[in-house]
A and B are shown apart, each in its own frame.
Chain A
Amino acid sequence: MLTPEQVELKLDRILLKVQKPGRYVGGELNSIRKDWDKAQTKVALVFPDIYDIGVSNVGLKILYDQINQRDDALAERAYAPWLDMEELMREHGIPLYTLESKRPLACFDIIGFTLPYETLYTNALNILNLAGIPVRSADRDESHPIIIAGGHSTTNPEPMHAFIDAFAIGEGEEVIHDIVNAIQKTKGAKREVTLRELAKISGVYVPCFYAATYMDDGTVAVTEPTLPDVPKTVNKRIVAKLPPPPTKFIVPNIEVIHNRVSVEIMRGCTRGCRFCQAGMITRPVRERTVQEVVDAADAAVRASGFEELALMSLSSSDYTYINDLVDAISKRFEGRKLTVNLPSLRIESVSVDLMEKLKQHRSGGFTLAPEAASERMRRIINKFIPDEDIINTTREIYSRGWTTVKLYFMIGHPSETLEDVQAIVDLCKRVIEEGRKVAGWKVKLHAGVSTFVPKPQTPFQWVACDTRENILEKQALLKRQLLKDKSIKLSWTKPEDSLLEAWLSRGDRRMADVIYSAWKNGAKFDAWDEGKKSEAWLPAFEEHGLDPAFYTHRQRRTDEVFPWEHITAAVRKNFLFQDFRMSLEGQIRVDCRLNCFACGILPTFANLRRENPGEGWKCPDVKTPARKIDIELPVVGD
């Protein structure tokens, strides 16, 4: 294997031939380089997209800090090289290496991928290959690192089961230590011994110890353990209390997408939007205190010198002390050159007041996400906002001096018709008209219309995706009517991209062969326009005798066993099903901070909550003792 010095020498010969060589050399402020020989366990953390996107990922940053705080372990980073660099690396025999020590990935004990979205899968395979590591788990032996993965898309790990040795389901802050300990404990042992040790950890799914059988119609009959001491269902891990947020952000020496400090103010969401996977799988809601957020933001801004601060959560308006937080932030950063981002605000005039308080730190536009434009549709997706609220809020935004409003919508929601899509057009036009009345002809609207993909572990997991033809018809309607207005900018997702995301997120174990073949056919950077999609993916389905429509255009039976049935985010299937049925009837569910709908979080984590009392955890108190809640849950559907 190449030494770091050999890697560096080879790099010097190619770096001036690639775009942005600064992506490949590390050396950033706040990156951590520990003594290689003093660490027992070495972890390479990988974001399988380019540096420009990956370097600011907060999830990996948290793990990087957690591991590097240990005396007995070290963590370094790697990203996917862009096409030009990959070609030269292969030509010059340079294996993928970490930025800190320039050591090949194959020297590490653990390679940890974050897979926040499905279009990174082929990149993960490509990275293993570029690191000289067999892509399939079954082909690896004791001389190879253990490959782990986590992140939102792994709530259905099955399509990647053949490539990843162990998945960490749920939150990583604590489980990463258990994983490092297990690797240390079994150092030098047979690979199977290590994997068995990993399978004992709560929240860790080791796919090689499970087997799936299928019905005649191609759906899953059951996925069950092949060993007696492996859990039937893998429950996600959570932390009872959010640990202190990272404050020593890596400061790249070149420009990247997000040059900013991100502080997570709250995790989880109680709104229950039925399309939203994040809202379902990150429960329960846990908040940080205002003091903790402001101090961390201040420390992080000082340690990085960044010009931008993002206060992250799935729904900022729902943060209990949002007013206090905004006041405290504007006071702490008064007179300092800093842009503050407060995303995911509710559509109400209070949100405009909040942003007004930050006006000294304001950035370009004001973003709101109605997600659907007809009231009928908003009931179905459980994001109920009357049209008047949208008009009043956007009018308020324009009248207070913002010239651009960005509205996010989705097409392809269950039971959507062309009338519902027409409603997007009508709403956008009304927003602009009303805006002009208060602020004149300079007002602008950016409508971002993506295509809905029904995700696992959500109330919509039973529904089919729109077909390519339907999507194109709906997009044609939008383009025909919105593109001619110079004040309106429209953006949309290509149907191929949405369908690929759907195959990968809804697939079963057989999709692994498709992924492998697609990668062999040249698929990588599937999230980019540069990726080759249909040429790589459709032949891959054909090669393995699988029908893409089986995964995407089929309403799933109410009693269907999902490929992800043995993985749970602690929100129960019967709760999801009940919510799905309510959606068909246009019934909405209110914020579950007000009223517990027994999603399953409380009984699953009853002990954890009892051991960690306090204000941070936002589920309402339920009267029944936790261990009895089980039998009081309504049983619907199956």
Chain B
Amino acid sequence: MRVRITFSKQGALRYTGHLDLHRLWERALRRADLPISYSQGFHPQPKISLAAALPLGFASRAEVLDVRLNEDLPVEDISSRLKESLPPDIQVLGVESVDDRAPALQTQVLSAAYEVHLTEPIDGVELTRKVEALMMSESVIRERRGKTYDLRPLIEMLSVVTEASGKIWLRMTLAARDGATGRPEEVLNALDILPEYTRVERTRLIFQK
């Protein structure tokens, strides 16, 4: 059966990268005694796929993975077995069974939503002005790993939230399609905010209907 697991990744796990997370899940499924399917061949690989890589250092309450199991099991069972076998900073938020023939998870992701909390005080008026200027721009050319690209079309939504308490934070939705992925730290850089003075959390992955 094919199982879709939604989970959060917080705390220390923010510093576990994509490949290590893959390995972590393989071990967690094994600890939970769930019968993972492996690929054929000399070096069999577990059939686990993560929807969209989360950059190192970011938390998430909306990670999604698909895993194929050799047996059909009730989803409640899978969920309760997994709870015991995951490190404390990963929590299972949902388990559902998916049609075996459904397209690969990674191909279905359209965009990702983030919340950015600031760990240093910031001038809200100034920030709002910069956000507006950025959103009004036709294009925002940036350089990353020696290549130039336009960040602007990758930003689907960007807004400043000011709480009654005066706390200010940011909300953004960025494209997350194959070959067109917006990175929150690039947006922060464009707003003159140092990413190390923020806490970024992915709040939602938006899939094709």
Contact = CB atoms under 8 A, between A and B. Distances in A.
Among the interface residues B33, B89, B199, which one has the most CB atoms of the partner chain A within 10 A?
Answer: B89
Contact of B87 (A12, A14, A21, A251): A251
B12 A253 contact: yes
Given A9-B119, A16-B57, A251-B27, A29 B16 contact: no
A506 to B, nearest CB: 41
Interface stretch (A188-196, A300-308, A385-393, A448-456): A300-308
Contacts of A255: 19-20, 23
B71 to A, nearest CB: 15
A305 B199 contact: no
A25 B11 CA distance: 8
Contact of A253 (B20, B29, B57, B195): B20
Contact of A303 (B20, B31, B57): B31
Interface string A192-225: 0000000000000000000000000000000000
B12 A13 contact: no
Among the interface residues A303, A304, A337, which one has the most CB atoms of the partner chain B within 10 A?
Answer: A337
B119 A29 contact: no
A21 B196 contact: no
Given A251-B27, A253-B12, A29 B87 contact: yes
Interface string B10-29: 01111111011001101111
A16 B87 contact: no
A15 interface: yes
Interface string B180-209: 000000000000000111010000000000
Given A21-B57, A29-B86, A305-B28, A14 B17 contact: no
Contacts of A348: none
Interface string B111-152: 000000001000000000000000000000000000000000
Nearest to B30: A305
Contacts of B24: 253
Given A13-B196, A28-B87, A303-B31, A22 B17 contact: yes
A99 to B, nearest CB: 8
A603 interface: no
A601 interface: no
Interface in B1-58: 11-17, 19-20, 23-24, 26-31, 33, 38, 56-57
B97 interface: no
A322 B122 CA distance: 67
A26 interface: yes
Given A253-B87, A305-B30, A13 B197 contact: yes
Contact of A12 (B16, B26, B119): B119
B27 A306 contact: yes
Contacts of B13: 27, 253
A508 to B, nearest CB: 44
Contacts of A9: 119
Contacts of B197: 13
A304 B31 CA distance: 7
Interface string A225-254: 000000000000000000000000001011
Contacts of A16: 56-57, 195-196
B31 A254 contact: no
Contact of B15 (A21, A251, A306, A337): A21
B88 to A, nearest CB: 6
Contact of A25 (B15, B33, B38, B85): B15
Given A12-B119, A13-B197, A26 B20 contact: no
A54 B4 CA distance: 35
Contacts of B38: 337
A25 to B, nearest CB: 4
A17 B57 CA distance: 10
Contacts, number: 73
Interface string A289-309: 000000000000011111000
Nearest to A15: B15
A12 B196 contact: yes
A12 B12 contact: no
A253 B90 CA distance: 11
Given A12-B199, A305-B26, A254 B20 contact: yes
Nearest to B198: A12
Contacts of B20: 22, 253-255
B195 to A, nearest CB: 7
Interface string A130-151: 0000000000000000000000
Interface in A4-37: 9, 12-17, 21-22, 24-29
A22 B87 contact: no
Contacts of B89: 27
Contacts of A251: 27, 87
Contacts of A14: 196
Given A15-B15, A253-B13, A27 B57 contact: no
A32 to B, nearest CB: 11
B12 A25 contact: yes
A27 B88 contact: yes
Contacts of B199: 12
Among the interface residues B15, B17, B26, which one has the most CB atoms of the partner chain A within 10 A?
Answer: B15
A430 to B, nearest CB: 32
Nearest to A8: B11
Given A253-B24, A255-B20, A305 B12 contact: no
Nearest to B58: A16
Nearest to A9: B119
Contacts of A305: 26-31, 85
A24 B12 CA distance: 9
A101 to B, nearest CB: 12
Nearest to A251: B27
Contacts of B14: 25
Contact of B31 (A25, A28, A302, A337): A302
Contacts of A254: 15-17, 20
A15 B16 contact: no
Nearest to B120: A13
Contacts of B57: 12, 15-16, 21
Contacts of B30: 305, 337
B15 A22 contact: yes
Interface string A105-138: 0000000000000000000000000000000000
Interface string A251-264: 10111000000000
A337 B29 CA distance: 13
B178 to A, nearest CB: 25
Among the interface residues B12, B20, B27, B57, which one has the most CB atoms of the partner chain A within 10 A?
Answer: B12
Nearest to B32: A305
A360 B31 CA distance: 21
Nearest to B195: A16
Given A13-B196, A21-B57, A28-B87, 19 more contacts: A12-B196, A14-B196, A15-B15, A16-B57, A22-B20, A24-B15, A25-B11, A25-B14, A27-B88, A27-B89, A28-B12, A29-B88, A253-B15, A253-B24, A254-B15, A254-B20, A305-B29, A305-B30, A305-B31
Interface of B: 11-17, 19-20, 23-24, 26-31, 33, 38, 56-57, 85-89, 119, 195-197, 199
Which 3 residue pairs are nearest across A and B when measured between Cβ atoms? A27-B12, A305-B27, A25-B12
24 contacts: A12-B199, A14-B196, A15-B15, A16-B196, A17-B196, A21-B15, A21-B56, A25-B11, A27-B12, A27-B13, A27-B88, A29-B85, A29-B86, A253-B12, A253-B16, A254-B16, A255-B23, A302-B33, A305-B28, A305-B30, A305-B31, A306-B27, A337-B30, A337-B38
